Structure 1
Amino acid sequence: MSGVAKSGWAFAALLLAGCAQTGMQSGVRTGDGPGPLAQLQIIAFNDFHGHIGADDQQVVPPGASQGAARVKAGGAVHFAAAIAKLRAENPNSAVVTAGDLISASPLASGHFLDEPTVRAMNVIGIDYSALGNHEFDRGQQEIRRMQAGGCAKYTLLEPCQVMADFPGARFGFLAANTLQADGKSLFPAYGIKRFDIGGRNVRIGFVGMTLKGTPAIVSPRSVEGLSFRDEAETANALIPTLRAAGADILAVLVHEGGNMKPDTDPADCANMIGDLKPILAKLDPAYALVISGHTHQAYVCSYAPVDPTRPFLVTSAGQYGTLVTRITLDYDFGTGKLVDKRAQNLLVEQPAADKTTQPEIAALVDRYEAAAAGVRNRVVGTVAGPLSNIADKSGQSTLGNFIADAQRAAMTAAAEGGAQIAFMNPGGIRAAVTPSASGEVSFGSLYAAQPFGNTMVVKALTGAQIREALEYQFARGDLPTILSVSQGFGYSYDSSKPVGQRVSGITLDGRPISDGETYRVAMNNFMGQGGDGFTMFTAAPLVGEGPSDLEVLEAYVRAMPGRAVPALDRIRNVTPQ
């Protein structure tokens, strides 16, 4: 059977009752079943994204109503303390993550290539990490360095800036469905955690995967030569191998997730929508657990109400280390079967005394925060007001327009490519830029907005290719990916019209663009390589290359004191209301 704990007190009461009835000796319960029961624990998380600092992350506590007050949570020190506490309650524990451990990170980790996060996780002692799509942001060589260690330089940033001899991850990266040209997985497909309990052994096999759609959402160059296979088919094919390796309990760590329908119970998988659900529908019921991520949602549910033949326990611990999932498994040595599984998302609280309980991690975080402080607090320039990353009804945001203007300005000179237009993808903008009361903008604020370290390119595109790209924005599903565009370029769209006929009135500096004419368009290399599915950019001739997108944004702010906030007048949504 399986169950889902819906509140902390209920879960605690269940455990206390279970221990009182059966008695616990060396991790083995006896007296209420066909054989001795081992109680195992999996501590799971996902989408940590390098949040080692105790930033102002605020979440609604698990089990609270939607309107409940948010509380501060997370930070590597508090995260380590939470895991240590759970381990003390049950030493028969595995600690695993479902991907996006690194990248798209705050400056204190990201500016140092996420070496601080890997070092912190080494101290915490996690066992396995599935690769997420963001692990690919800096390319395959850098992923391998994260695992193997060393200070070889594969990015624009310098490795080993603060601490020499980066050791790499002392835990295993897993990549079952990420295959190289020779058919071998980029990292091992699975890992097995063995527990020795009262002289008896039980093993959990963890299969780690990222979403098969990874190539569409990362730089194509970063995944060149790799193929991403179907998640369920990959996991199902591994079952004989896992059994031959001695795995008694099977679990999936998959960097793909779901969402719960609004105002529904997150403890009921029947309420789940999104890309994880088709995977669950095909996954072999030999798997007991599906630990998921990617959507940054928090849920714990049984899939049995959807399909009684597939009673998976499905979990996700939100984002940024603000929650951890405690999964408890009862394994019967007499029958060799898992007889119960239950889980609960727990808040990673921020008690003031945690630095004394986690001195090594506290010292590590302090060291990197100090190294980052001078970089973060450096004033770049001034702007006339806040730059929001929230789009209006047309799909524009003031920050998106500002970044597009910065990119065109940086690449306008003939030597840089002679850009006439710039396009910026919304997924590359991660936070608003909020100046101080006097209008000052810090480097840290710009970094938070653009943390990926993409480089600028200029591509020669025909008017027809530009039109194709604009139409493609509205052909990607229910949520369009509307690119920010630079000043002087504009168009209208009517999303009620048929696909391919939604964009009209495309102009540059007041003149209609011509399908047969060639225009020079600045964009980041992610877009230039066909990122977000804009493959019409891939083959377009490269006519210029420039610095990183962050350097471009910094130079734009510095060049003119009090730079104006751009108007939202470039894209016109004329869809009938």
Structure 2
Amino acid sequence: MSATSHQRRRRIIAAAAGLTTVGALVAAMPAGAHDRGERHGQDHGYGYGRTVDVQLLSFNDLHGNLQPPAGSAGRVTHADEDGTTHTIDAGGVEYLATHLREARKGNRYSITAAAGDMVGASPMLSGLFHDEPTIEALNKLKLDVTSVGNHEFDEGARELARLQNGGCHPVEGCYEKKANGKPKTFRGADFPYLAANVTDEKSGRPLLDPYFVWEKDGVRIGFIGVTLEGTPDIVSAEGIKGLKFGDEIETINKYAKVLERKGVKSIVALLHEGGAPASGSYNYDCDSPGPGDGISGPIVDIAKNVSPQVDALITGHTHQAYACTIPDPSGTPRTVTSAASFGRLYTDTTLTYDRRTGDIVRTSVASANHVVTRDVPKAADMTRLIDRWDALAAPIAGRPVGYISADIENPSGAPERPAGNLIADAQLEGMAPADKGGAQLALMNPGGIRAGLVHQASGSEGDGVVTYGEAFTVQPFTNMVTAVDLTGAQLITALQQQVSGANQAAPKILQVSSGFTYTLDMTKSGADRIVTDSVRLNGEPIDLARTYRVAMNEFLAGGGDGFAVLKEHGNKLVGASDLDMLNAYFAAHSSPDAPLAPPATGRITVVE
């Protein structure tokens, strides 16, 4: 396939009357590859050696972060040789483009791939326009292929189809105009989305292409794309209606055999599921003392059971940084990588390809994560892209909605977060009036808090103003807030489900409103971590038989994030959106002369 064809390939993944499938094998040549002399002797014909090095650049969980992420979300931690650590400001698509383009220089064979969540839960610059700006940026980055992640389904399969194939938003229309004043149609993605384990419930056929084959000068590498099987637990039910999500291991192994039958022996899995390294430093050696010993989580079991036919796994979802080797079923170490999130890192993996066998020489695979530093020149085309969309968003994004006296942080992994307390308080206040739902407490899922609020961002005015755009970045889902009936027993069960069942390995600690308190004993395991007699509302012990009115977003009310008991609610009343409630809270509790202070923590007492 020519470079031009590669730039404009299209996928039909959903039709107005229902879901369809595209299962055809696509081979493509990357645009803009650069020449490089080979490491080994020349052979006849092509003039290339028997083995050639293929550069695989990868990243994951961009989430529409085109501008540099603010605060801690825009930093990575580096482990120093003396045992100390320091942080580095990182991210921003203007810098990511520069780093990727520089990395490709001198590499004749270079592929750029991603492992899902390119869009969804995006800051306002992208989210306001349903992530069209991010797809445009990825086209300019020369992304060759990506798997879907759970957030690609936030707005449903038909919206994912539009992002892939192009066309203006069905409700809001075209956002831009041509020079002649006519609407400018969104062109869609130049790269294929892969979703091998996402199938139509009725037909059983894949929603998207399950695999993609990259080819140049006879070098062929296949990519299989899957998202986590648990996607239905973390996406709204409406977004995945009519879809089934299959087992990651079974699906990858199935399509590895398909690719083998087609003569493709070099295979990479793009998997939107990940793990947790023992250190938060991006350069941590997770192979010390042995392969994969320094990483835990779902990816470990998956990697140990995915067929040895697969030569490397590019992963995501957990927003962690690692470049590990985990033994495959035959005991042979295999590269498994993840580049954190928000475009702060990219992974550079060298795959040594044997022309005679058509396979990767696994003992020669090398991989490392690199920081997307902000000390390089900005890519001019990305600056123009950001400026263009920023101008369209400016009338809305720059409107002040509140004022804060200090950073309101959202520290990843912390049981209790100031930003979570703020959101829970806002939702309780919005649903507390009798005619609004009569809520007595509020619960907020931690994954729905996409950022904190920075009092003084680098280079900004530093006056503590919270703009609509900043609030949107914190709460980008437009989840409607509900008030529901739950018994005290159900409340206790919900707290226990934070640390047991689907959430036992990676607890999801709900953020709670002011007045609701309890103790989390991390010296115990599973549901026993919740000290039940410590759970109180306004100082009074929770009565297991009593009915309480609880505010939460519709995602939680539908049992999202593994909180199955929350689906058993009664007497639901739907209120305003989460973003509207947050902005209303700012309006009621802050002004230029009296900015809002960060909510105090201490609602959850942690015993370690």
TM (normalized to structure 2)?
Answer: 0.80
Q: Residues of 2 paired with 1:190 and 1:390: CA distance?
A: 36
1:295 shift after superposition: 2.4
Q: 2:305 aligns with which of 275, 279, 282?
A: 282
Distance 1:505 1:362, change over 3 A: closer
What is the RMSD computed on CA atoms of the aligned residues? 3.2
- The aligned residue for residue 536 of structure 1 is 565
State whether residues 266 and 358 of structure 2, in contact with CA within 8 Å, keep that contact through their aligned partners in structure 1.
no
Q: Residues of 2 paired with 1:224 and 1:26: CA distance?
A: 53
Instruction: Look up the equivalent residue of 1:270 and give its one-letter code.
Output: D
State whether residues 36 and 106 of structure 2, in contact with CA within 8 Å, keep that contact through their aligned partners in structure 1.
no
Q: Secondary structure at the match of 1:545?
A: strand
Q: Residues of 2 paired with 1:485 and 1:176: CA distance?
A: 38
Distance 1:69 1:183, change over 3 A: same
Confirm whether residue 329 of structure 1 aligns to residue 356 of structure 2: no
Instruction: Look up the equivalent residue of 2:511 and give its one-letter code.
Output: S
Q: Residues of 1 paired with 2:411 and 2:365: CA distance?
A: 41
Confirm whether residue 202 of structure 1 aligns to residue 219 of structure 2: yes
- The aligned residue for residue 20 of structure 2 is none
Moved more, 527-536 or 516-525: 516-525
Moved more, 445-454 or 492-501: 492-501
Deviations along 1:208-245, one digit per CA (max 9) or x if unpaired, are 01112222223233233333222111111122311233
1:64 shift after superposition: 7.3
Distance 1:352 1:324, change over 3 A: closer
- The aligned residue for residue 553 of structure 2 is 524
- The aligned residue for residue 37 of structure 1 is 51
Distance 1:420 1:117, change over 3 A: same
Q: Residues of 1 paired with 2:427 and 2:83: CA distance?
A: 40
1:65 shift after superposition: 7.3
1:51 shift after superposition: 1.9
Q: Secondary structure at the match of 1:22?
A: coil
1:422 shift after superposition: 1.4
Q: Secondary structure at the match of 1:481?
A: coil
Distance 1:453 1:254, change over 3 A: same
- The aligned residue for residue 41 of structure 2 is 22
Distance 1:25 1:83, change over 3 A: farther
1:185 shift after superposition: 1.9
Distance 1:484 1:26, change over 3 A: farther
- The aligned residue for residue 11 of structure 1 is none
- The aligned residue for residue 346 of structure 1 is 370
Moved more, 61-70 or 446-455: 61-70
State whether residues 220 and 530 of structure 1, in contact with CA within 8 Å, keep that contact through their aligned partners in structure 2.
no
- Identical counterparts, % of pairs: 37
State whether residues 134 and 218 of structure 1, in contact with CA within 8 Å, keep that contact through their aligned partners in structure 2.
yes
Distance 1:392 1:234, change over 3 A: closer
Q: How does 1:377-396 map to 2 (within 5 A)?
A: 377-383=398-404, 385-390=406-411, 395-396=415-416
1:63 shift after superposition: 9.1
Q: How does 1:243-282 map to 2 (within 5 A)?
A: 243-262=260-279, 265-266=285-286, 268-282=291-305
Q: Residues of 2 paired with 1:241 and 1:364: CA distance?
A: 40
Confirm whether residue 216 of structure 1 aligns to residue 245 of structure 2: no
Q: Secondary structure at the match of 2:545?
A: coil
Confirm whether residue 151 of structure 1 aligns to residue 168 of structure 2: yes
Q: How does 1:369-448 map to 2 (within 5 A)?
A: 369-383=390-404, 385-390=406-411, 395-435=415-455, 439-448=464-473
1:383 shift after superposition: 4.2
TM (normalized to structure 1)?
Answer: 0.84
Q: Residues of 2 paired with 1:530 and 1:407: CA distance?
A: 18
Q: 1:49 aligns with which of 36, 56, 63?
A: 63
Q: 2:334 aligns with which of 295, 298, 312?
A: 312
State whether residues 300 and 313 of structure 1, in contact with CA within 8 Å, keep that contact through their aligned partners in structure 2.
yes
Q: Residues of 2 paired with 1:440 and 1:354: CA distance?
A: 27
Q: Residues of 2 paired with 1:114 and 1:80: CA distance?
A: 18
Q: Secondary structure at the match of 1:312?
A: strand
Confirm whether residue 472 of structure 1 aligns to residue 497 of structure 2: yes
Q: Secondary structure at the match of 1:287?
A: coil
Confirm whether residue 125 of structure 1 aligns to residue 142 of structure 2: yes
Q: Secondary structure at the match of 1:368?
A: helix
Distance 1:564 1:209, change over 3 A: same
Q: Secondary structure at the match of 2:568?
A: coil
Instruction: Look up the equivalent residue of 2:139 and give its one-letter code.
Output: N
- The aligned residue for residue 120 of structure 2 is 103
1:174 shift after superposition: 0.7
Q: How does 1:469-508 map to 2 (within 5 A)?
A: 469-475=494-500, 476-477=503-504, 480-492=507-519, 494=521, 499=527, 502-508=531-537
Q: Secondary structure at the match of 1:343?
A: strand
1:424 shift after superposition: 1.3
Distance 1:452 1:353, change over 3 A: same
Distance 1:62 1:210, change over 3 A: farther
Q: Residues of 2 paired with 1:384 and 1:345: CA distance?
A: 36
Q: 1:301 aligns with which of 297, 302, 324?
A: 324
Q: Residues of 1 paired with 2:395 and 2:82: CA distance?
A: 40
Q: When the two structures are aligned, how many residues end up with a matched partner?
A: 543
Q: Residues of 1 paired with 2:390 and 2:430: CA distance?
A: 31
Instruction: Look up the equivalent residue of 1:365 and give its one-letter code.
Output: I
Q: 2:192 aligns with which of 145, 165, 172?
A: 172
Deviations along 1:427-479, one digit per CA (max 9) or x if unpaired, are 22233224467654333332232222221112222222222212323323255
Instruction: Look up the equivalent residue of 1:49 and give its one-letter code.
Output: H
Distance 1:400 1:73, change over 3 A: closer
Distance 1:124 1:416, change over 3 A: same
1:492 shift after superposition: 4.7
Distance 1:351 1:509, change over 3 A: closer
Moved more, 133-142 or 61-70: 61-70
Gaps of at least 5 residues in structure 1 are 1-15, 31-35
Instruction: Look up the equivalent residue of 1:446 and give its one-letter code.
Output: A
Q: Secondary structure at the match of 1:269?
A: coil
Q: 1:228 aligns with which of 227, 241, 245?
A: 245
Confirm whether residue 460 of structure 1 aligns to residue 485 of structure 2: yes
Q: Residues of 2 paired with 1:496 and 1:353: CA distance?
A: 48
Instruction: Look up the equivalent residue of 1:331 and give its one-letter code.
Output: Y
Distance 1:568 1:361, change over 3 A: closer
1:98 shift after superposition: 0.8
Distance 1:468 1:441, change over 3 A: same
Q: 1:59 aligns with which of 71, 76, 79?
A: 76
Deviations along 1:500-524, one digit per CA (max 9) or x if unpaired, are 6731254445554443333221111
Instruction: Look up the equivalent residue of 1:484 and give its one-letter code.
Output: Q
Deviations along 1:278-304, one digit per CA (max 9) or x if unpaired, are 011111111111111222233333335
Q: Secondary structure at the match of 2:293?
A: helix
Instruction: Look up the equivalent residue of 1:236 and give its one-letter code.
Output: N
Deviations along 1:235-280, one digit per CA (max 9) or x if unpaired, are 1112231123332311101111223334962354333222111011
Moved more, 109-118 or 328-337: 328-337
Q: Residues of 1 paired with 2:334 and 2:124: CA distance?
A: 37
Q: 2:381 aligns with which of 357, 360, 369?
A: 360
Q: Secondary structure at the match of 1:207?
A: strand
State whether residues 308 and 329 of structure 2, in contact with CA within 8 Å, keep that contact through their aligned partners in structure 1.
no
